[in-house]
Structure 1
Amino acid sequence: MKEIILQGQEQRMRAAVFEDGELIEVHEEEGEFSHLVGNIYRGRVENVLPGMQAAFVDIGLEKNAFLYVADAMPPRFADEVKLTSNHLPRVEQVLKPRQELLVQITKEPVGTKGARITTNITIPGRYTVLMPNTDYIGVSRRITDEEERSRLRERAKSICPQGMGVIIRTLAEKIEGNELGEDLEALVELWSLINEKVPHVSVPGLVHEDVDLLARMLREWIDGKVETITVNQPVVAEGLRNALRKLDHPATNHVHLISKDNLFADYGVDEGIRKALRPKVWLKSGGYLVIQQTEALTVIDVNTGKYVGQSSLEHTVLHTNCEAAVEIAHQLRLRNFGGIIIIDFIDMILEEDQKQVLATLENACVKDKIKCQIMGLTKLGLVEMTRKKVGQTLEVRYSKQCPKCDGTGRV
C-alpha cells in the first residue's frame, strides 16, 4: 500500500510518499531545489576539454553544464559507425567553441559540479517516452514477462512516428486500450511546440521546462499501489480528483482534504527527515547502521548493537545482516544517495548466508525506481553497489555545513 501526503504553503509544494506506513521519499519544489532534470535549453559551448573528452556548455545557469562526448553524438551516427566505449571520436571532432546546441539536463547540479546534459532529447509521458532524434524502440526492464514485452514492443512499433523512437514505461504493463497511442500523440505534439519555440529563444536560454511537482507526481509516482492521497489545499485536491478520474484510477475517491498548515508534522514526515539526517540508524532488533557520505562514495557499516540473538552466532549475524539489508535499501531511497556505495556487513562464514544477504538486498532494491546495481562481495567481504544519482540528497536540501567545524562534526 502506498500513500502520498501533499503539503502546500505559500509558493512551496512538498510531497511525501509512504509505503506500508513507512516514509520512503520526500520531494519539494521551491527556489534552488526546483526540478531541473528534463528541462531543455539552448546552450553555447564555452570550453572543449580534449583531456576529459567533454565540454562545458553555458545554458544560463550559475555553473556551466558538463557534456560528455558520448552524450553529444547523434544516436544514428553512433549506430552507423558501431561505436563502443573504447572507440569514441575525439571531442574536438564533435564539438567546437561557441557552437550552439539544443540540450537537456540529465543530472542536477551537485555541490561544485554543474548539471550534466545531453543532446539526445527525451520527452516523458505517463506510459511512453518519446525520443525524437532516434528510431529506437524499447520496453522498460521492469516488465519481465516476455510475452507482455513482445506485445508492447509491437504496439510501440505501430504507433511510433517514422524517424522517431519510443520507450514503453513500466506503467504501460497490461494496458490494452488506446492510452499508449494517446500518450505518445500528446508527446509528439509537445515536441512540435518545442521545435517552434527554439528559434525565438536567445542563447543561452530555457526552451522547455519540465512539468511541476503535481504533474510529475501524476506521471511518475501514482501507480496501481497508491491507495490514498491526502492534501491540505482544496484547489489541489479537486485538481487531483479530476486528473485521477481521467486516468480511471481507483484512488479518485480517496483524495482526502485536511485543512492544516503542517500535515508533515501530523504524519511524522518532519521527524522522519530529522532521523534520516543522522549518521546512526537503529534496527528493530537492536542492531544499527552507521552511514557516512563522502564526495566520492557512501559507506555503510552494520553492527549487532544491543541484539544478542538466541540460538547461535551465525544466526545472530545472519538475522542482523538481513534486517540491515532491507533498511539500507530504504535509507538509500529516503536520503536519495547515489553513486558508489560500500557496505560493511557483519562478517559471515557460511557462503549460503552471504548469498541470502545479497538476495535480500537485491529484493529490497527492486522497489526503488532509481536504478541500483549490486556488484557482490569483494575479497575483503565488503558489498559494492551503485545507485544512479538523481537530484539533490536529503542532506543537501535540509541542512548546511557547520561554519565552526567545516562539516567534520568535531571541534
Structure 2
Amino acid sequence: MKGSVIALDRYKGRMAAARIVDGHLEDLLIEPPESVTLPGAIFRAICDRPLKGQGGMMLRLPDGETGFLRQGKGLKPGQAILVQVTGFAEDVKAVPVTQKLLFKSRFAIVTPDAPGLNVSRSIRDDDDRVRLLEIAHDVMQEADEGLILRSVAATASDDEIAEDIAQMLDLSRSVRKDGDGATPELLIDGADPHHQAWREWPEPDQLDAADGAFDRHEVDDMIDAALGSRVPLPGGATVFVEPTRALVAVDVNTGGDTSPAAGLKANIATAHALPRALRCRGLGGQIVVDFAPSPKKDRRQIEQALRAAFRADGIETSLVGWTTLGNFELQRKRERMSLRACLKGTK
C-alpha cells in the first residue's frame, strides 16, 4: 500500500502506535511496563548526595526511585529542584534527569531556561518564518520563557499555533510554581504512545484509531519482524541488528550479489535503513557497524549517506567514525526502551 498510515491500538494489552509508510513499518511506540518512568516526566526531586569527582548529584524521586543529575554544581542535600527525565534508565541504574525543562507540544516547545523566540531551521520559507514569529510575539509578549516553533507549525493555522503556545506557556508556569516542597512528587507524566504519535509524527494520509487497527494493517507481523535481528535490504542484501549487553552490533551481508559494487550498494542501503531499524527496535547506546567489504575510497560516500539518514531521524545520534579494524561507531541517545524489554512479561 502506497502512502502513510498511523495506526493507534493496543498490543498485548499495552497502548501502542505504529507509523507505516508504503507498507513498511517506519516507527513504533509501545507503552512500557507501569513501573518504568517515562521520558519527559517532570518531578519535584530532593537532592540526596553529591557524587564527588563527577560533579553530579543523586536525587530522591517518588516511590523510592533514584534520579541522577549530571550537573549538580551548587546544589545541596535536602534542596528541592525541578527535573525532567531525559531517557530510560538502564538496569539497576538511576533515572537520568536534567534541570533544563522542555514543555513540548505538536507545534511549540516552551523553554523556561532558554529565553528567545526561535523557528525550526527546517522552515526555510521567509514568509512562513515571518508569520510564525509574529504569532510567537503576539502570544509570548514580554514572557521570560523561550519558545521554539517546530517544523510542522508551517502547515498549521494561526489560531492552532497560538493556542498551542498559550497552553504550553500556562503549563510551564503552573509546574514551576510547584517547585518548592519537602517531598518528591511527580508533576507531569511522560507522553503515552498515542499522545507521542500525535505530537511527533507528521500528518498521515490515513489515521486509523478504531479498535482492530493493528489487525487491519498487519502491524503484529511487522512487530514480530522487528523483534528479530534480520533486516532485508534492496538488491538481496541483508543487515543483522543484534543488541548485546555492551553495544549494538550491526553486520552487513551482500547476499548473492557478486558484482564489484556489491559492497558499496549494500553499505549505502544499510545507511538508509539503519535509523529505522534502530528506531523500531528502540535501540541506543554504543553501536558498531561491520560494513560489507568495500574500498577505503568509498568510506566518504558511506559516511555521507549515514549523516543524511540520521539527520532526518530525530533521535540524537553522534557519528563517531571508523575504527582501526574498519568498523564504524555511533553513539545514540537512549530515548526509548528496547522493544524486547518493553514487551517483557507480556503474552
TM-score (norm 2): 0.86
The structure with higher relative contact order (CA 8 Å, sep 6+) is 2
* Residue number in structure 2 paired with 1:291: 241
Identity of aligned residues (%): 29
- Give the AA of the match of 2:226: A
1:216 is the counterpart of 2:199 = no
Which of structures 1 and 2 has the bigger CA Rg? 1
Q: 1:33 to 1:126 in 2, by over 3 A?
A: farther
Q: Quick check: 1:385 aligned with 2:330?
A: yes
Q: How far 1:181 sits from its partner (Å)? A: 2.7
Tell me whether 1:324 sits opposite 2:305 in the alignment: no
Q: Distance in 2 between matches of 1:181 and 1:205?
A: 30
State the match for 2:91 in structure 1: 111
Q: In the alignment, residue 117 of structure 1 is paired with which amino acid?
A: V
Is the Cα–Cα contact under 8 Å of residues 283 and 336 in structure 2 kept in the other structure? no
Per the alignment, residue 15 of structure 1 pairs with: 17
**AA aligned opposite 1:138:** N
One-letter code aligned to 1:370 = I
Matched position secondary structure for 1:285: helix
Distance in 1 between the 2:216 and 2:322 partners?
A: 41
Find the aligned partners of 2:273 and 2:32 in 1 and give their Cα distance. 29
Q: What is the match of residue 189 of structure 1?
A: 170
* 1:257-296 equivalence runs, <5 A: 260=212, 263-296=213-246
State the SS of the aligned residue for 1:121: coil
Partner residue in 1 for 2:293: 347
2:152 to 161, 166, 171: 171
In the TM superposition, residue 126 of structure 1 has moved relative to its aligned partner by: 1.6
| 1:87-166 correspondence runs (5 A) | 91=73, 94-143=74-123, 152=132, 156-157=136-137, 159-160=139-140, 161-166=142-147
RMSD: 2.9
8 Å Cα contact 1:108-1:114 kept in structure 2: no
Offset of residue 289 of structure 1 = 1.9
CA separation of 1:187 and 1:331: change in aligned 2, threshold 3 A: same
Paired residue type of 2:342: R
2:173 aligned with 1:227 = no
By how many angstroms is 1:195 displaced? 4.1
Which range moves more in the overlay, 9-18 or 158-167? 9-18
Q: Aligned AA for 1:278? A: G
Higher mean C-alpha displacement, 153-162 vs 22-31: 153-162
Task: Identify which range, 294-303 or 172-181, moves more after superposition.
Answer: 172-181
Q: 2:252 aligns with which of 296, 302, 307?
A: 302
Q: Which of 279, 284, 305 is matched with 1:333 structurally?
A: 279
Partner of 1:360: 305
Corresponding position of 2:26: 24
SS class of match (1:273): helix
Distance in 2 (CA, whole Å) between partners of 1:301 and 1:117 is: 33
- CA-CA distance at 1:105 after TM superposition: 1.3
Give the letter for the 2:266 counterpart: T
Q: Is the 8 A contact 1:42 1:202 kept in 2?
A: no
Matched with 2:45 is 43
Q: Is the 8 Å Cα contact of residues 290 and 326 (structure 2) preserved in structure 1?
A: yes
1:43 and 1:153, CA in 2 relative to 1: closer, same or farther beyond 3 A?
same
Question: Who is 1:407 aligned against?
Answer: none
After TM superposition, give the deviation of residue 376 of structure 1 in Å. 4.0
2:82–2:176 CA contact under 8 A, matched in 1: no
Gap change, CA 1:297 and 1:278, over 3 Å in 2:
same
- Per-residue CA deviations over 1:129-171 (Å, capped at 9, x if unaligned) read 1122342433334445677557645654554343111112121
* Contact kept? 1:347, 1:381, Cα under 8 Å: no
Please list every run of 5 or more consecutive structure 2 residues that lacks an aligned counterpart in the other structure: none
- Pick closer, same or farther for the CA change 1:362–1:228 going to 2, 3 Å: same
Superposed CA offset, 1:52-103 (max 9, x none): 210110111453011011xx5xxxxxxxxxxxxxxxxxx3xx1111221122
- Change in Cα spacing, 1:35 to 1:99, as seen in structure 2 (3 Å) is closer
Output the CA distance in 2 between the equivalents of 1:339 and 1:10. 27
* Compared CA separation, residues 22 and 57, structure 1 to 2 (3 A): same
In the alignment, which of 6, 9, 20 is matched to residue 8 of structure 2? 6
Shift of 1:123: 1.0
How big is each residue's C-alpha offset from its partner over 1:272-318, in whole Å with a ceiling of 9 and x where there is no partner? 2222222333334333223232344322111223x234xx32x1222
Structure 1 residue 320: Cα displacement:
1.8
Letter in 1 for 2:61: I
- AA in 1 matched with 2:279: R
Partner of 1:238: none
* Residue aligned with 1:110, SS: coil
